Copies of this chain bind each other. A is one copy, B any other.
Amino acid sequence: MKLNILGCYSATPRTFTNPTSQVLEINNHIFLIDCGEGTQVQLRKNKIKFSRIKHIFISHLHGDHFFGLVGLISTFRLLGRDTELHIYSPKGLKEVITLQMKLANSWTNYKLTFHELTNKESEIVFEDEKVEVRTIPLDHRIYTNGFLFKEKPGDRKLDMNAVLNENIDVSYYRKLKQGADVTNEAGEVVKNETVTKAPNKPKSYAFCSDTAYKEDIIPLIKNVDVLYHESTFLEKHAKLAAPTKHSTAKQAASIAKQANVGQLILGHYSTRYDDLNVFKTEAQTIFDNVVLGDDGKVFEF
């Protein structure tokens, strides 16, 4: 998995900072997560191939998370896209986008499919053989979902020396990878674990923005490799975090700790702060493996 943060500041695009958008590479998918104004330029700057984006996940309909989407959809058309685009978002986005296309008398020449979400319980929104994406219901001023991206467990790996020693016919290899015991050419049962190795541990990434402190999400994101959790404020501004339904760095770290995640990435910083290192310091009083998200940063895990 590779996570490329295109923008991770709250509220407005500014000269040197961008609103929320991320690109997650996972098993040959390029998933775009949120799409604030300027995302298409950030995609260019970060050298992401537009045509590889086939699924876009929008957390909620505050402008700093989706105002760049209609422009990106238009640009796809201008670039001659013909592959289908799927958009997963709260209900309402389809109306906004189609209204603007109607006014411009300009429709896409590729199939555009909206998957509008209204469920307040976690649900699977995308799934194929290798990957599953489910919502993480968050607590914000409007209906908001985070997203949990999980690799599915892969096949077991053949220990080729052992397999050949056991004289197992090649036609059984697939069963072996699936974990079954098989019979060798001598007619003896061969225990699976004696000729195969465990698959790589499936990786997982949880994106949680925007949200108030919400312990309900902990079971969903338990043990993920990487958690991006918003930290709009520092604890000294907790009084601003509560009514706006945002989190502090300390709260983000508390969620990370309770969920036993591998690493916590912070972001969605309020523009009132000049020194982001304080976010890291504050979070590390609770949870050690914290990194500061920033526009253009790439994480491989």
A-side interface residues, number (CB < 8 Å): 34
A74 at the interface (CB under 8 A from B): yes
In whole angstroms, what is the CA distance A73 to B15 when docked? Answer: 17
Distance, CA A74 to CA B66, complexed state (A): 13
Interface residues of A in 84-123 (CB under 8 A from B): 90, 92-93, 95-96, 99-100, 103-106
Is the CB of A296 closer than 8 A to any CB of chain B?
Answer: no
Q: Are B103 and A92 in contact (CB under 8 A)?
A: yes
Chain A window 59-83, contacts with chain B (Cβ cutoff 8 Å), 1 for yes, 0 for no: 0011100011011001100100000
Using A67-B71, A99-B95, A105-B142 as known contacts, say yes or no to A41 and B61 having CB atoms under 8 A apart. no
Measured CB to CB, the nearest residue on chain B to A142 is B105
B71 touches A70 (CB 8 A): no
Residues of B within 8 A of A70 (CB): 63, 67
A44 an interface residue at 8 Å Cβ cutoff? Answer: yes
Query: Does A103 lie within 8 Å of B38, measured CB to CB?
Result: no
Stretch from A6-14, A158-166, A193-201, A260-268 at the B interface: A6-14
A38-B41, A68-B37, A105-B141 known; A63-B12 Cβ under 8 A: no
CB distance from A210 to the nearest CB of B (A): 12
A105 CB contacts on chain B under 8 angstroms: 141-142
Tell me, in angstroms, the Cα distance from A90 to B102 when the chains sit together. 13
Contact A71 B13 (CB under 8 A): yes
Neighbour of A106 across the interface among B13, B62, B99, CB < 8 A:
B62
Q: For the complex formed, measure the closest distance between the CB of A16 and the CB atoms of chain B, giving whole angstroms.
A: 9
Flag whether A22 is at the interface (Cβ < 8 A).
no
CB contact under 8 A between A100 and B96, given known A11-B78, A37-B68, A67-B71: yes
A3→B13 CA distance, assembly (Å): 24
> Known interface pairs A71-B67, A105-B141. Does A15 touch B44 (Cβ–Cβ under 8 Å)?
yes
Bound state CA distance, A63 and B74, in angstroms? 8
Can you give 6 contacting A-B residue pairs, CB < 8 Å?
A: A12-B40, A12-B71, A12-B75, A67-B67, A96-B103, A104-B142
